[in-house]
């Protein structure tokens, strides 16, 4: 429907034909309904007893996961509000790497509570204002309750990593994977100007199906998913001196088209000999520097391969740029853009470089690097889907540990901190007073949905659990009590060792509040007509014109 206004009794077209428009309460309720639908979809995946989703894309590829960001990313949603909810999960994933489901569920619950207030004729801007105050207060309480962590306390870091993997497919082996995650992150962490910096991208994750989850291993070095270029080359080099080349070991082709006139077989022989000499000199340069392993980002000519093999040098070609950077960080080698620049100082070292067969594929392992600032986790599992889910679980654990190293504070999990925040906010609401007080109380109810969902997903009675949780939190010494999904009931999460990084909770509350506020502020949706429809209409119009011309 095009939007039409009456000016002095004459209709005036404002919007184009085919544009649809929803305004006021109708638009607001529609948006809230869609956000709630998305939230409800992934709600059942929350917590250790959460269920998984199977997603099948247009090509028929299957993804089985209970990771919030993965599910929403694979769902291929259409509505703009649904896309906004996907953005919430992506923002949480990119910033802190965990807590995506919490962030989306919280956004949905904030809107659900807001809907009840809208029915009481409370204006959306009042609700948004109340939510903002509640969010600021909640984040303030989070920081005051957070427990400081000694970064040398490996046990606590392992507990944080294990908590992030409790709801994943590898939950039963979480202690084994937690140890790998903690060792990997602490290895690549660097101290810069008194602050710890962790780039999780320096931890390479290579997936290979076949074998069991327990065959997953941490390698203090880099695994290059390529094979040695020539069969005569050594497949194992101990005390390797590694050269990294971002230059081809080939005779360069001229930039412009050139023609060489050869009038005798001797000239042809000379020409080929000269080409061979160039390649031989390149290899000689590499040999003189003392290098016995070469990783090349570009191609290696067959003749150069022969000379490298003759010199007993192992070579790998067409290595990815990201792998080259990881090799440089792990071995201490410099990436050279010209073979002429090679020198003993530019080489890196490793105790062992070896080609091994992993699941029918040959790979080159670079191990025993001196203080490697890049490490590799080789993930194994029975079949492809299992390996994919194991990788997602390990990534969550890596990010959780990295979050604690960057900001060394943790909080009890199991819905404990949400229950505590809800109690504190209910005390704070009357101080604010007015209609905003109702919005702050609604925010507290939304936070309580996290322990309620954990209880529902574990098959417990949510009403009993919330009542027990509220009763426990009335005693200030029991602020760490949360939902014990294993034994049923409530228990002290601190003594159970269920911990989550402060950064994850803080960011989830911040992003959920911002998203809910944005959706509540929308009171008009104007959708332009679809391009396909317009195209279809044009074709139809053209056909009609043709028909009329025939009759003429």
pLDDT tens, 349-381?
999 999 998 878 899 999 988 878 889 999 998
What pLDDT was estimated at residue 68?
86
Residue 240 pLDDT greater than 90, yes or no: yes
Give catalytic residues, as residue numbers. 67, 100-101, 396
How confident is the model over 175-234, as pLDDT tens digits? 899 999 999 999 998 888 888 888 888 899 999 888 888 989 999 989 998 999 999 999
| Alpha helix ranges (H) inside 235-320 | 265-288, 302-310
Contact 314, 228 (CB under 8 A): yes
Task: Specify the length of the chain in residues.
Answer: 552
Q: Tell me which residue of 326, 279, 281 sits closest to 305, measured CA to CA.
A: 279
Residue scoring higher pLDDT (452 or 269): 452
Question: CB neighbours (10 Å) of residue 114?
Answer: 26
Q: For residue 143, how many other CB atoms are within 10 A of its CB? A: 11
- Residue 501: count of CB within 10 angstroms of its CB: 30
**Could you give the 3-state DSSP secondary structure of residue 149?**
coil
Above 80 in pLDDT, residue 255? no
Tens of pLDDT, residues 422-439: 999 999 999 988 899 999
Q: Average of pLDDT values for 300-322?
A: 92
At residue 125, the 3 state secondary structure works out as helix
Separation CA 451–CA 43 (nearest Å): 12
Name the 3-class secondary structure at 378.
strand
Helices and strands per DSSP (H, E), number in the chain: 17, 23
| CA–CA gap between residue 41 and residue 114 (Å, rounded) | 19
* pLDDT at 530 exceeding the cut of 80: no
* 282-290 average pLDDT score: 91
β-sheet bridge partners, residue 332: none
Those residues with Cβ within 8 angstroms of residue 359's Cβ, 6 or more apart along the chain or in another chain: 208, 209, 210, 211, 380
pLDDT-above-90 percentage for the chain: 55
* pLDDT of the residue at 551: 45
pLDDT at 528: 77
- State residue 47's pLDDT score: 87
Q: How confident is the model at residue 526 (pLDDT cuts 50, 70, 90)?
A: confident
pLDDT tens readout for residues 48-95:
888 989 999 888 889 888 888 889 888 888 888 999 999 999 999 888
Distances, alpha carbon 95 to alpha carbons 165, 173, 351, 511, in Å: 18, 26, 36, 10
Enclosing H/E stretch for 545 = helix 531-551
Considering only the C-alpha atoms of the chain, give the largest distance between any 2 of them, rounded to a whole number of Å: 101
The average pLDDT across 149-172 equals 88
d(CA 251, CA 304): 10
- Write down the residue that tokens 């710890």 correspond to: 196
Cα separation, 13 vs 2, whole angstroms: 7
186: number of Cβ within 10 Å:
17
| Residue with token string 């279809």 | 536
The pLDDT of residue 1 is: 46
Nearest-angstrom CA–CA distance, 412 and 396: 17
- Dihedrals φ, ψ of 492, to 5°? -75, 110
> Do 138 and 472 contact (CB within 8 A), yes or no?
no
CA distance 483 to 50: 14
Residues of the chain above pLDDT 70, percent: 92
148 DSSP assignment: E
Q: What is the CA radius of gyration of the chain?
A: 31
d(CA 417, CA 508): 13
Helix ranges restricted to H, 212-369: 265-288, 302-310, 321-331
Decide which of 12 and 544 is more confident: 12
Q: Which of 22, 167, 177 is nearest to 105 (CA)?
A: 167
Query: Is pLDDT of 538 > 60?
Result: no
């Amino acid at each position: 429907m095009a939007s039409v206004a009456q000016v002095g009794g004459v209709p005036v077209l404002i919007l184009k034909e085919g544009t649809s428009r929803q305004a006021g309460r109708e638009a607001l309720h529609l948006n809230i309904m869609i956000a709630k639908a998305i939230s409800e979809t992934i709600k059942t995946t929350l917590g250790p007893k959460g269920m998984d989703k199977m997603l099948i894309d247009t090509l028929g590829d299957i993804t089985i996961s209970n990771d919030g960001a993965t599910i929403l990313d694979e769902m291929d949603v259409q509505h703009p509000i649904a896309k906004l909810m996907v953005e919430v999960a992506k923002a949480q994933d990119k910033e802190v790497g965990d807590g995506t489901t919490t962030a989306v569920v919280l956004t949905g619950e904030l809107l659900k509570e807001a809907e009840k207030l809208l029915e009481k004729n409370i204006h959306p801007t009042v609700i948004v204002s109340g939510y903002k105050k509640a969010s600021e207060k909640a984040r303030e309480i989070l920081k005051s309750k957070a427990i400081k962590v000694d970064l040398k306390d490996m046990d606590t870091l392992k507990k944080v990593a294990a908590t992030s993997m409790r709801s994943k497919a590898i939950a039963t082996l979480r202690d084994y994977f937690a140890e790998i995650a903690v060792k990997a992150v602490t290895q690549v962490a660097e101290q810069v100007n008194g602050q710890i910096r962790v780039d999780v991208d320096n931890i390479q994750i290579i997936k290979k199906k076949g074998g069991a989850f327990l065959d997953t291993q941490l390698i203090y070095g880099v695994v290059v998913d390529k094979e040695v270029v020539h069969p005569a080359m050594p497949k194992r080099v101990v005390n390797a001196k590694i050269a990294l080349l971002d230059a081809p070991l080939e005779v360069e082709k001229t930039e412009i088209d050139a023609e060489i006139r050869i009038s005798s077989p001797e000239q042809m022989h000379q020409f080929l000999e000269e080409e061979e000499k160039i390649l031989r000199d390149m290899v000689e340069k590499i040999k003189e520097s003392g290098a016995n392993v070469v990783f090349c980002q570009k191609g290696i000519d067959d003749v150069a391969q022969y000379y490298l093999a003759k010199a007993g040098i192992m070579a790998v070609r067409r290595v990815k740029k990201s792998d080259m950077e990881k090799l440089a960080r792990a071995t201490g080698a410099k990436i050279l853009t010209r073979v002429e620049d090679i020198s003993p100082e530019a080489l890196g070292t490793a105790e062992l470089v070896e080609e091994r067969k992993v699941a029918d594929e040959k790979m080159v392992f670079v191990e025993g690097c001196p203080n490697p600032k890049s490490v590799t986790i080789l993930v194994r599992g029975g079949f492809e889907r299992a390996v994919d889910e194991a990788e997602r679980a390990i990534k969550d654990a890596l990010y959780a540990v990295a979050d604690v190293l960057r900001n060394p504070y943790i909080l009890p999990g199991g819905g404990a901190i949400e229950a505590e925040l809800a109690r504190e906010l209910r005390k704070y609401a009357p101080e604010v007073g007015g209609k905003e007080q109702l919005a702050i109380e609604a925010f507290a109810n939304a936070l309580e949905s996290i322990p309620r969902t954990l209880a529902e997903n574990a098959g417990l009675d949510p009403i009993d659990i919330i009542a027990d949780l509220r009763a426990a939190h009335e005693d200030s010494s029991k602020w760490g009590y949360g939902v014990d999904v294993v034994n049923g009931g409530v228990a002290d999460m601190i003594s159970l060792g269920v911990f989550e990084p402060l950064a994850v909770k803080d960011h989830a509350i911040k992003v959920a509040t911002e998203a809910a506020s944005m959706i509540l502020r929308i009171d008009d949706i104007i959708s332009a007509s679809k391009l396909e429809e317009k195209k279809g209409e044009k074709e139809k119009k053209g056909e009609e014109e043709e028909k009329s011309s025939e009759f003429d």
